[in-house]
Amino acid sequence: MDTFWLKIVGFAVLVVGAIVLIGFLTSGTKEPEKTIYDQWEQDDKELLAEPQFKEPPAPTLPVQQPAPTPSAQPSSQVAPGEQPKPQFKELELEDEIEAQKLWIWVENQRKMGRLPVMGYGQMVKGCRDIIQRWPESKYAFFAKRALADLPERYREMYNITDEEIDLGNLK
């Protein structure tokens, strides 16, 4: 009679061990779910990335271009393989500090907008304020990038115009 219960316990341990082993082997193939913190970190990287010029679209038909004359070359040449950096208007110290504070506030409002039941209204208002007050600065570029990154339904909801999200020839 004692061996009967030992056989049942041994079988139960074997079944539980098999279930744990199967769970362990199949769980390694899934990607871990993204948390809101992961999304915020990705947003920070994308929104604060260095601006770069967009690549012009490749011509569909080969076009013969005349050989450039020495006088037609620009005086400020960039080394091959190196892209020129966009130039933004330098702000005075007080404006720089104020723009930086407002941009940090905009970033935090964007993070809050990602949460359920929250909206992007305060972020949009801050971005518009930056674009209006410092239109040629790097903060205006960041604000336009943040507005352009919003989903289409929020652009319609907050009446974001194409001019507000136009990055020109930058990306």
pLDDT (0 to 100) of residue 81: 58
pLDDT (0 to 100) of residue 75: 45
- Judged by phi (left if over 0) then psi (alpha if -120 to 50, else beta), residue 168 lies in left
Q: 122, 86, 93, 129: which is closest to 107 by C-alpha?
A: 122
pLDDT (0 to 100) of residue 87: 80
Segments in the chain forming alpha helices (H) = 2-27, 36-47, 93-113, 121-133, 138-148, 152-157, 162-165
Distance CA 167, CA 171 (A): 7
pLDDT (0 to 100) of residue 33: 78
- Specify the pTM: 0.62
Can you read off the two tokens belonging to residue 96?
A: 């720089």
Q: Is 62 helix (H, G, I), strand (E, B) or coil?
A: coil
pLDDT tens-digit profile, the chain (171 residues):
578 888 888 889 999 999 888 887 777 656 667 888 888 888 888 877 777 766 655 555 555 555 554 444 444 555 555 666 778 888 899 999 999 999 999 999 988 888 887 888 999 999 999 999 998 888 998 999 899 888 888 889 999 888 888 877 666
pLDDT (0 to 100) of residue 166: 82
pLDDT (0 to 100) of residue 13: 92
Sequence-separated (6 or more) residues with CB below 8 Å from residue 43: 110, 111, 114, 149
